[in-house]
Amino acid sequence: MTPDIILTEDGSHSLRQSELNETYHSIHGAIQESGHIFIDAGLKTCAKDTLQVLEIGFGTGLNAFLTLLESESSQQKIQYTTIELYPLSTESACLLNYPDLLAPEKKDVFYQLHTAPWQNRIQVTPYFELYKILEDFSCMTLTGQYDLIYFDAFSPEKQPEMWTEDRFRMLYKHCNPGAILTTYCAKGIVRRALQSAGFSVGRIPGPPGKREILRALKE
């Protein structure tokens, strides 16, 4: 079923998945939320010249687009891997207003994130390489080593199989020393699963509408 486009409080779009009764982003602001959780609390804290980023849940492509834009600004090279089982249709992606609000001159680049073939590495810009994996994260075997993880799956109430200690142990194994995992979810069950998997976990202030988020570190 095609998700419905909704307007969030910062003027940016999100999607509502009616089958799960879940939105892809905060109704208080999609761009605001993603920028706070994944860019400010994640990407901007990583100083490597070339960064291996893993995203769990490609969704609307907003996190990838924000990361691409930041890489252009900072001239930090990003090798971006994203895992998604139910990709958004190109038709739906074309209706999202992120390029209009963030970088109208890069509208074609945003669409390229969605139209890029799966299981292929694509050099989207000189600073941003994209590798999209069409698989079920809850049962797949991961490869590669990562410096930063955006954990952006649907909530533990809706997709508990995505948030297990087993899945976090797999991520920990594939993290480089000093790697960061950041997520919007601050639930105790998720914090404890991350800690049991080996991460050092802290709560940090969240974006508007959310008091706290989790930020985990492989020390």
pLDDT tens digit sequence for 33-85? 999 999 999 999 999 999 999 999 999 999 999 999 999 999 999 999 999 99
Q: In what order do the strands lie in the sheet with 4-7?
A: 4-7, 13-17, 22-23
Does the predicted model carry a pTM greater than 0.85?
A: yes
pLDDT of amino acid 19: 86
Q: How confident is the model at residue 1, as a pLDDT?
A: 67
Residue 2: the pLDDT is 81
Query: Low-confidence residues of the chain, pLDDT below 70?
Result: 1
Looking at residue 29, its pLDDT comes to: 97
Residue 75 contacts residue 127 (beta carbons within 8 Å): yes
